[in-house]
Amino acid sequence: MKINQILIIGVAFTLFACGNKSKESKDDSDLKVTETPVFKGEGLKIGFYYADSLSENYLFIKEATKSMEAKVNQLSNAFQSKVTNFQNWANTQNEKAQKGLLLSTEVQKFQQESQERQYNLEQEQQQLQMKIQDIQNENLSVAVNRVEDFVHRYAKEHGYDLILQYSKGGQVAFANPELDVTSDIVAGLNKEHQESQNK
């Protein structure tokens, strides 16, 4: 029986392509970040951040990815152990049947049980894949909400009218590097994450 390999998250958390609504903003008067060159056109103050850089450098995402990989490995190993046990049992019974060591009734019973166990493993595999997807979605949702909440507060505090997310192949084809606020966003997110860990 061929069991599809369960993919472990390539979590660069293709963040923020989701349209999740940001949480209510909260005042945070002590956000101290480096001032970034600003372009003002038509009265607008605009900035952008690189999504891939955020995914690579935001500590929460790194820690969540590591935790998820551990959970997925644990779940996958437990399931693979069941698959191996089934395969060993099936091989042993097949050998006995080929050597004529089983009665015809025993062969029929083996074939029926083999089909049932294979079906159960396939069902369990589907449930496992759904569980892994739920773990990924839960962590992605938390990350998206944290980033959107911070960016909202950052924009409000620094007077931005618009902060875009830049990702290769995304809707923004070009952004002037002078508008890049990625380092500020990453630094602020990591500062808040570390403070929350120390509480």
Domain limits for position 100: 39-198
Helix 182-198, helix 59-98: angle, nearest 10: 80
19 lies in a domain?
A: no
The count of domains in the chain is 1
Q: Who wins on pLDDT, 134 or 37?
A: 134
For residue 31 the two structure tokens come to: 């956000």
State how far Cα 71 lies from the chain centre: 12
18 lies in a domain?
A: no
For residue 169 the two structure tokens come to: 């192949």
78 lies in a domain?
A: yes
70 lies in a domain?
A: yes
> 183: buried, middle or exposed (CB in 10 Å: 19+, 13-18, 0-12)?
middle
Dihedral (Cα; 52, 56, 61, 62), 10-degree rounding: 160
Residue with tokens 């042993």: 92
For residue 42 the two structure tokens come to: 């038509």
4 lies in a domain?
A: no
For residue 153 the two structure tokens come to: 């507060």
10 lies in a domain?
A: no
Whether the predicted pLDDT of 93 surpasses 50: yes
84 lies in a domain?
A: yes
For residue 22 the two structure tokens come to: 């940001």
Whether the predicted pLDDT of 126 surpasses 50: yes
Whether the predicted pLDDT of 66 surpasses 50: yes
Residues 6 or more apart whose CB falls under 8 angstroms from that of 36 comprise 47, 179, 180, 181, 183, 184
99 lies in a domain?
A: yes
Residues 6 or more apart whose CB falls under 8 angstroms from that of 101 comprise none
Lowest model confidence (mean pLDDT) among 27-41, 90-104, 174-188: 27-41
Whether the predicted pLDDT of 137 surpasses 60: yes
Whether the predicted pLDDT of 61 surpasses 70: yes
Whether the predicted pLDDT of 41 surpasses 70: no
Predicted TM-score of the model (pTM): 0.67
Q: How would residue 7 be classed by pLDDT, with cut points 50, 70 and 90?
A: very low
How confident is the model at residue 30, as a pLDDT? 52
